[in-house]
Structure 1
Amino acid sequence: MPVIQTEELTKRFPAVTALDRLTIDVEPGVVGLVGANGAGKSTLIKILLGLSEATSGQARMLGLDVTTDGPKIRERVGYMPEHDCLPGDVSATEFVVHMARMSGLPADAARERTADTLRHVGLYEERYRPIGGYSTGMKQRVKLAQALVHDPEIVLLDEPTNGLDPVGRDDMLALIRRIYTDFGITVLVTSHLLGELERISDHVVVIDAGRLLRSSSTSEFTRTSQFVAVEVTAEPDTVAGQLKAAGLDVVRDGHLMVVPLEDESVYDIVRDTVAQVGVGLIRLEQRRHHIAEVFGERGSQ
């Protein structure tokens, strides 16, 4: 049964249409909501939480109508906002305990759940420090902790990797994936960075200017192509030249060489050519499409 459903959902502002007859079904799992800044992702989340009214259309979360059941929905949902909204003069423990109490947990349960949740997000050792002294990555983890502390059925994460360096993004993405795999909590995560969602999502919804471009499993987005990606330790120009001399078409894609996979003999030709040049072979694999490529293909139609 879908945990989120929208039908012809539309949200118009005086100068722009944020959502344009959006119809989607979101099943349990990690679901990526992809779109450029201004595509309507945050507007959709606010409507789902009952914090903003749609102009027309319908939406349901966990089987509840977002128009009439906002308070009930918010009891069962966790929300990590995009913007910085943390008080700097309290500790992570104080803040997350407060949010747990706001969600209805008794005092003892709130403190216990807070300790467990801060340990899960990697802030246990820093839990008594004022939030104002935290790095951007630590603040993002506090926001994630308060979204999880009351054990919701689904969490909505709005651009959770914003402002993070590559290592911080990797850590945050691993945490997000574990929310579902370890605890069975469905995740709807938004991002304008397509590669991030490709790595962690079971299903991807792509919207542009409030309209649905595509909704399908990540495996369908990243289907196997009929090309082989080749990467060598040195002398890629020489290897590419030898592959062409052997009768293969070679296209350079950054540090990769991309070769059409006409039949299985292509693997043997590449292997033998690399050995003849005398360099190491880092990668020889059938290439997969990326969400960014599929997004571009759809946008050009």
Structure 2
Amino acid sequence: MSLLLELDSITREFGAFTALHGITLRLPPGRVGLLGPNGAGKSTLLKILMGLIPPSSGVGRVLDQPLGGDSDSAANWKLRRLIGFMPEADALVPGLTGIEYVSLAGQLYGMSRRQSQRRAHEVLSYLGLEEARYRNVEEYSAGMKQRAKLAQALVHDPPVLLLDEPTSGLDPAGRDTMLNLIRELGTDHGKSVILSTHLLADVQAVCQQVVIIAGGSVRGQGTVEELCARRADRFKLRVQGDTTRFRDDLLNEGVAVLAENGQGELRVTVPAGWSNLAFFKLADVNDVIIRALLRDDETLEELFLRTVNDGPIKQMVG
């Protein structure tokens, strides 16, 4: 099976500014979250994947189709036919109906007028826009506009979808609808998806793999479960009794209290060489009872903040 992405030392410079620093990735087909803060280099990477701009150095492939070369070359047109792109910006054409807008996208991808119109009807119906297909797109609600943008990305039935902030501007119900559609496109229709976002919850809801990018570099790659592995130095404690002195003694022993809910539950990080028996000894001294002692998973948000602030993670996969 071909890899979805093969990137080797992809660098992109804009004059003296380096937007991407030696990006190397191997990703199988599936749903991938490209997660990073604003200015991380996500948009530059998407443009390279679509063949809109070449890398300054390095080589890569999308489903065995090579990257690079002139943006209007035959190879790059072939690459773009493999990809459906949903931009973050509105990208809607005022004055066009939904069916005209999506059909136009199909023709720009090289489909005949008749074929593009037939597919536009099919895709708009699938996305719940059948009754609005003859309305002008500027009259659509925010959720309908996002689905229309997804429709134009799907009209030529590409194997790969690049989605740039697809839930931007949506209310909770619209966001759930969009995420369900994206997940369904992967699970039921075999589409590979690269979801570029800064919203961690969107990645957790949809994606099988995560790539964290910051400062133009890959900081982590793997499944959410792999990246948020349980750490040997973090624990959840459930304690019965007055925790005030118990907590103070933990701090004196070098244990950091990350969170406390006021109802006897604590999340802590222990120092190197710590023995868990010390928890029970301190509990006995302070007349409290430990009801539960559990390993603590790092959340995706904690992982993201740690990798962005501190550099590549040790659990890096790939």
TM-score range, shorter chain: 0.7 to 0.9
- In structure 1, the residue matched to 2:96 is 90
Q: Does 1:38 align with 2:45?
A: no
The 1-side partners of 2:125 and 2:109 are apart by 20
Q: How far off is 1:183 after superposition? A: 0.3
Q: How far off is 1:186 after superposition? A: 0.2
- In structure 2, the residue matched to 1:289 is 298
The 1-side partners of 2:111 and 2:262 are apart by 53
Letter in 1 for 2:121: A
- In structure 2, the residue matched to 1:252 is 260
Letter in 2 for 1:55: S
Q: Does 1:7 align with 2:8?
A: yes
The 2-side partners of 1:206 and 1:243 are apart by 41
- In structure 1, the residue matched to 2:158 is 152
Query: Does structure 2 retain, via aligned residues, the 8 Å contact 1:35–1:207?
Result: yes
Aligned length: 277
Q: Does 1:76 align with 2:94?
A: no
Query: Does structure 2 retain, via aligned residues, the 8 Å contact 1:64–1:73?
Result: yes
The 1-side partners of 2:182 and 2:106 are apart by 20
Alignment gaps of 5+ in structure 1: 231-239, 271-284
The 2-side partners of 1:212 and 1:93 are apart by 39
**Judging changes above 3 Å, is the alpha-carbon distance between structure 1 residues 253 and 216 closer, same or farther for their aligned structure 2 residues?**
farther
- In structure 1, the residue matched to 2:285 is none
* Cα deviation code 1:47-89 (max 9, x no counterpart): 1111112111112111111124211111121111121210121
TM-score by length of 1: 0.81
The 1-side partners of 2:99 and 2:263 are apart by 46
**Judging changes above 3 Å, is the alpha-carbon distance between structure 1 residues 25 and 131 closer, same or farther for their aligned structure 2 residues?**
same
**Judging changes above 3 Å, is the alpha-carbon distance between structure 1 residues 224 and 120 closer, same or farther for their aligned structure 2 residues?**
farther
**Judging changes above 3 Å, is the alpha-carbon distance between structure 1 residues 42 and 241 closer, same or farther for their aligned structure 2 residues?**
same
Letter in 2 for 1:212: V
Q: Does 1:222 align with 2:228?
A: yes
> Relative to structure 2, which stretch is displaced further, 114-123 or 172-181?
114-123
Q: Does 1:132 align with 2:154?
A: no
The 2-side partners of 1:215 and 1:8 are apart by 15
Alignment gaps of 5+ in structure 2: 70-74, 251-256, 269-275, 278-289, 312-318
Q: How far off is 1:286 after superposition? A: 7.6
**Judging changes above 3 Å, is the alpha-carbon distance between structure 1 residues 252 and 99 closer, same or farther for their aligned structure 2 residues?**
same
The equivalences for 1:1-301 within 5 A come to: 1-68=2-69, 69-224=75-230, 227-228=235-236, 242=241, 244=243, 251-252=259-260, 257-258=265-266, 269=291, 288-298=297-307, 299-300=309-310
SS in 2 for 1:183: coil
Q: How far off is 1:254 after superposition? A: 10
TM-score by length of 2: 0.77
- In structure 2, the residue matched to 1:273 is none
The 2-side partners of 1:223 and 1:207 are apart by 19
What RMSD in Å do the two structures reach over aligned CA positions? 3.1
The 2-side partners of 1:74 and 1:256 are apart by 56
Letter in 2 for 1:96: V
SS in 1 for 2:96: coil
* Cα deviation code 1:213-268 (max 9, x no counterpart): 011112212334664598xxxxxxxxx874748x79883369994457x79xxxx9
SS in 1 for 2:85: strand
Letter in 2 for 1:123: L
Letter in 2 for 1:289: E
Query: Does structure 1 retain, via aligned residues, the 8 Å contact 2:84–2:153?
Result: yes
* Cα deviation code 1:132-155 (max 9, x no counterpart): 111222111111111111110111
The 2-side partners of 1:186 and 1:130 are apart by 30
Larger radius of gyration: 2
